[in-house]
Structure 1
Amino acid sequence: MGKNELLRIKKDVEAFVGQRVKLKANRGRRKTFEREGILEKTYPNIFVVKIDDKTNAVRRVSYSYTDILTETVEVTVYGENGYKKIKCVS
């Protein structure tokens, strides 16, 4: 399940490059990080999201595909037909 599941998650993420996403990340001790941005690029082990910030500064965050598998990060993609959550299928 582990390696096959990571490959499926990676392919799902790659399919949505350039689209608007909502991130919800667990930062520990009951702290969560919720932001919206554009799924900018994927790499073999990580993906990068360009965050929309109130200021003019550009901010990028990166997460591994394992973060989605372990549910440390939730990625929701906004599309024409509503939204789709990228997650592992356990």
Structure 2
Amino acid sequence: MPNSIAEIKELLNNRIGQQVVVKVQAGRKRVKTLHGTLSKTYPAIFIVHLDGDGDDLQRVSYTYADLLTHNVSLAFE
């Protein structure tokens, strides 16, 4: 991932609509993996619509700072 929030925003703006795998630090030594589509970007956050996997969550949002601090990681398919 890029090294600044501006670079992260630009990268994600160019990837809207693509499939993505999101890995989130869910606590001590726990990582949650989600699959979905990058749907929208806003000035401070981005939104991922999740694939139907039976959970009640249909979409999640994260800040660009989450990517910068490695609390969240994205991998495009």
Shorter-chain-normalised TM-score: which range? Answer: 0.7 to 0.9
What code does the residue aligned with 2:29 have? Answer: R
Deviation string 1:5-24 (CA, Å, 9 cap, x unpaired) is 11001101111000000000
Note the aligned Cα RMSD (angstroms).
Answer: 1.8
TM-score, with length taken from structure 2? 0.88
Q: Are 1:72 and 2:74 counterparts?
A: no
Runs of 4+ in 1 over 2 A off after TM superposition: 53-58
Q: Which residue of 1 aligns with 2:5?
A: 6
Alignment-mate amino acid for residue 60 of structure 1? R
Q: Distance in 2 between matches of 1:28 and 1:56?
A: 19
TM-score (norm 1): 0.76
Distance 2:62 2:56 in 1: 20
Question: Match of 1:31, as an amino acid?
Answer: R
Deviation at 1:30, TM superposition (A): 1.3
Higher RCO (CA-CA < 8 Å; seq separation 6+): 2
Deviation of the 1:57 alpha carbon? 5.8
1:1-90 equivalences in 2 (<5 Å): 5-55=4-54, 59-78=58-77
State the Cα deviation string for residues 12-71 of structure 1 (Å, max 9, x = none).
Answer: 111100000000010121111101100010000000000112239661000000000000
Mark the runs of 5 or more structure 1 residues left unpaired by the alignment: 79-90
Residue type at the aligned position of 1:9: I
